[in-house]
Structure 1
Amino acid sequence: MSLSRVVITPEVFLACTAHALSTEDEEVMGLLLGDVQGPPEAPVAVIWRAVPQIRTDRRKDRVETSPEQMAAATALADQLTTSTGVRTRTIGWFHSHPHITVLPSHVDVHTQAMYQLLEPGFVGLIFSVFNRDAATKAHSVSATAFQSLPAGAGGGGGDGLEGMGSGELAAFDSETRDAIRAAAVAESLAAVAGGRSDAWTRKEVPLAIAPCGATPGACLGDYATVQALLLREEQTAHEARRAGGGGGSTSGRNQGAATLLARVHDAGVHAASLCQLAEGSIAPALAALRGLAAQVDLQRRQLAEEERTLTARAAELEAAAAAGGGGGAAALAGALTLLDL
């Protein structure tokens, strides 16, 4: 399924960029929840939830999601579907490119191809961060959406059926179509597993940021989840270091001293990491949320003042209508019409 467009909510964009900006040295990733809508000939992926993933592999250029994390995201999507009545599925993933171009690498294209074998409407988002313009000294954040197509498929549907149009496929019975698709999937899996750089090519999908109406989770909960995730990630790494620590090949009193020194060093590193997290991520997030809360409170007070003004004006017109007869009644009707608008 070749998507015609991808739409994400402002809250999803905020959560994804906050997660991408949380580390300058390593890539991060997460999953995206929403649904594929629109006509079959021009499907649109609408995304209203972001599910950041904890980094199980903290190497610089490595991001991955475990089966447990994928299952947890699927369970969350099912829960949202049940609680809101709006169908929600796992239809995408995102990851960051710190200090590098926003364009997907061949590894990204292969990873996207693997996801599309599970869900044809799956889409990948990349957020390129920490890009500094040498002339203006300004930093920028770039984002792109992409899918994978078999090499040579051009602008086709990306279903792995090279050289065969949808009309030709529809001419076969259901069993034959299933067999053809299964063969195409097997060939695609073999190409991805073999790491062939020429097996897939990227297709850029237009990306838009817009409110999606009455969709589940259209709030700042995912933005807050990013901060909790980063804290849990640091705690998990600290516990893993403590569990794997040891005193080396020394014995007796020297081993005990080495173990104690290692624990003190690890505690210091953990404290420094927490301070860096608080200064670089949590404190700015709190400041941003306080600013947003102040803005919302100001808008609430402005609307309340406008309501009082209109109510007083309506009361004056009602009194004038009672005193003046028909002309006042007509003026009151016009004022009430304006209030309804």
Structure 2
Amino acid sequence: MIPTLARCVLSADAFRTCFTHALASEHEEIMGLLIGELTVSEAGEDESHIHSVCLFKRSDRQKDRVEISPEELAAATTEAERLSGIADRDLRVLGWYHSHPHITVWPSHVDVNTQAAYQQMDKNFVGLIFSCFHTEPNKANRLQVICFQAVPEPSYLSSTGSGKFVSREVPLQVVSPNGLTASFSDSLSLLASVMVEEERDLYSPANQSPETVEEIMNAIHNGSVFTKSMTGIAENLCIPLIRVLEAQLGRNHQRMLELNRLLDSPESGGQLLDMSDVIQ
């Protein structure tokens, strides 16, 4: 079935989480699933609104491809149902995202075929690609994102609707809230945990009761690599997150002081606020 999606509206929280995830791994692709709702515009066009991101631990780390297992898709569906109950909205899995480290943002033939397979379940399913660590001639490092779907190539389209697929770019709009939201900070905290688990999975099987000199030396080497990886996660993800949260805390404190000055004025007659009243 040919998709008819007019545009994809991505929340700033989801956008920041996806790009942070992409920047956290320079040498292998990352991936995740997108949760949102499908709406119809005033013009009668289908629009995909993405509100949240599902992060998964990679079982297979490769530089040129990623895969989403049925178990991960089922977990994302369960999370969408949970969020639907909280928000009282019809949320579901509406797309996937992955990164292109050191290459352009354009979908490969593997990406297009993967996207076509997802669209067999939902014609409005979308794919996002985040290109990072890519330097073009005479330009600095570029960060790019594209939203796409798979459509049959006209020359290959048959009466059954099957054939060769090509990518179709979907207009992407990012809706930005004010300040740092709890959803984004929670996602970054989860991302750090996921990356630590990935490194532990790689390290643990290689260091089980070394006995010979060679095994001991290998264990020491693997331990050094693991320590370096943990240091990288702390330096590139955890420390920046702490600085962002500290800055937001300072802004919240300043806002609380300003509001309390207004409430303390003779005209207000209100009561003083505490930090929980002004956290964004």
The residue aligned with 2:103 is 100
Deviation at 1:65, TM superposition (A): 1.4
Q: Deviations over 1:82-103 (max 9, x none)?
A: 2332111011000111121111
User: How has the CA–CA distance of structure 1 residues 221 and 313 changed in structure 2, closer, same or farther, with 3 Å as cutoff?
Assistant: same
5 Å-filtered alignment, 1:145-164, equals 145-152=147-154
User: How has the CA–CA distance of structure 1 residues 294 and 220 changed in structure 2, closer, same or farther, with 3 Å as cutoff?
Assistant: same
Further displaced range: 40-49 or 102-111: 40-49
Deviation at 1:144, TM superposition (A): 1.1
Q: Is the 8 A contact 1:98 1:130 kept in 2?
A: yes
SS of equivalent residue, structure 1 residue 118 = coil
Deviation at 1:266, TM superposition (A): 1.5
The residue aligned with 1:48 is 51
The residue aligned with 2:170 is 205
Q: RMSD of the alignment, in Å?
A: 2.6
Q: Deviations over 1:123-143 (max 9, x none)?
A: 00111112346546x433211
Q: Distance in 2 between matches of 1:23 and 1:56?
A: 14
Further displaced range: 101-110 or 256-265: 256-265
Number of residue pairs aligned between Structure 1 and Structure 2: 263
Extract unaligned runs of 5+ from structure 1: 154-159, 164-182, 192-198, 247-254, 316-341
The residue aligned with 1:274 is 230
5 Å-filtered alignment, 1:139-288, equals 139-152=141-154, 184=161, 188=162, 191=163, 199-211=164-176, 218-242=183-207, 256-288=212-244
Q: Distance in 1 between matches of 2:268 and 2:56?
A: 54
The residue aligned with 1:328 is none
Q: Deviations over 1:2-46 (max 9, x none)?
A: 211111111111110110000111111110001111159411100
Is 1:30 aligned to 2:18, yes or no? no
Q: Match of 2:145, as an amino acid?
A: A
Q: Distance in 2 between matches of 1:201 and 1:41?
A: 25
Q: Match of 1:4, as an amino acid?
A: A
Q: Could you tell me the TM-score, scaled by structure 1's length?
A: 0.70
Is 1:90 aligned to 2:102, yes or no? no
Q: Is the 8 A contact 1:129 1:142 kept in 2?
A: yes
Deviation at 1:261, TM superposition (A): 2.2
User: How has the CA–CA distance of structure 1 residues 35 and 281 changed in structure 2, closer, same or farther, with 3 Å as cutoff?
Assistant: same
Q: Could you tell me the TM-score, scaled by structure 2's length?
A: 0.84
Q: Distance in 2 between matches of 1:162 and 1:41?
A: 28
Q: Is the 8 A contact 2:152 2:166 kept in 1?
A: yes
Deviation at 1:291, TM superposition (A): 1.6
Extract unaligned runs of 5+ from structure 2: 270-280
Larger Rg: 1
Deviation at 1:239, TM superposition (A): 1.9
- Which of the numbers 61, 69, 87 marks the counterpart of 2:64? 61
